[in-house]
Amino acid sequence: MEKFQVIAHPLIQHKLSILRRTDTPTKAFRELVDEIAMLMGYEVLRDLPLEDVEIETPITKTVQKQIAGKKLAIVPILRAGIGMVDGLLSLVPAAKVGHIGMYRDEETLQPVEYLVKLPEDIDQRQIFVVDPMLATGGSAILAIDSLKKRGATNIKFVCLVAAPEGVKALQAAHPDVDIFTAALDEKLNEKGYIVPGLGDAGDRLFGTK
Ligand code: PRP
Ligand code: URA
């Protein structure tokens, strides 16, 4: 499996174009984030281990496959990551959900952590950190630092829009973490926003601006 993957399915690209548009209202924005996260889940969860299970069809007994009950955790980076949780949970409803609260200081662009609430056995779980935006990479790096400090070893990062600067920084800080994105954009602007991007994901998701 590749360490960095752009999941460019036509449905995802189509929905992402609508998501980016300035005139897409909050309700549609929320629905699109949810749908794209779910569609990405198909690829992101490709490595889930299977085990044999004996079942009976109307015709015969047979040994088939089922998902081995490996423990998963979805960890959104607040706020915007929350929008991606339900889409993934619809595919793996038994996954636990942890939360890491983080905001970027608007002057320094440095992330500030304000909440960490994780499943107790986080060190034993396959973790999917979700956040729509990977800009400078600061938030993702600090969130993953925080998880590793608590014993997490098996971590994947899932975003919708990534800047090359953020991908590079995250790969350098956490080379063991697979990165999945729906799009790799051009660059960051002088305010640390992704270009062309979609603006402030948290504000658009929650209608706060
Ligand atoms: C956004 C976004 C990421 C972060 C990405 O959150 O959801 O968490 O910025 O930027 P970075 O890669 O440069 O760290 P923001 O700080 O705006 O907080 P919010 O989700 O609460 O609005
Ligand atoms: N955070 C966002 O929400 N959008 C960006 O473009 C960069 C960081």
How many distinct structural domains can be found in the chain? Answer: 1
166 annotated to bind ligand: no
Is 209 inside any structural domain?
no
Q: What is the pTM of this model?
A: 0.96
Q: 20, 34, 104, 181: which one is catalytic?
A: 104
Is 34 inside any structural domain?
yes
Q: Which domain holds residue 189?
A: 2-204
Is 192 inside any structural domain?
yes
pLDDT 10s digits, 156-174: 999 999 999 999 999 999 9
Pocket test for ligand 1, best of 75, 102, 142, 195 (most atoms within 8 A of CB): 102
Widest pairwise Cα distance in the chain:
67
Q: How far apart are the first and last CA of the chain?
A: 39
| Cβ–Cβ under 8 Å, residues 205 and 80 | yes
pLDDT 10s digits, 79-126: 999 999 999 999 999 999 999 999 888 889 899 999 999 999 999 999
Is 197 inside any structural domain?
yes
Is 112 inside any structural domain?
yes
pLDDT 10s digits, 45-69: 999 999 999 999 999 999 999 999 7
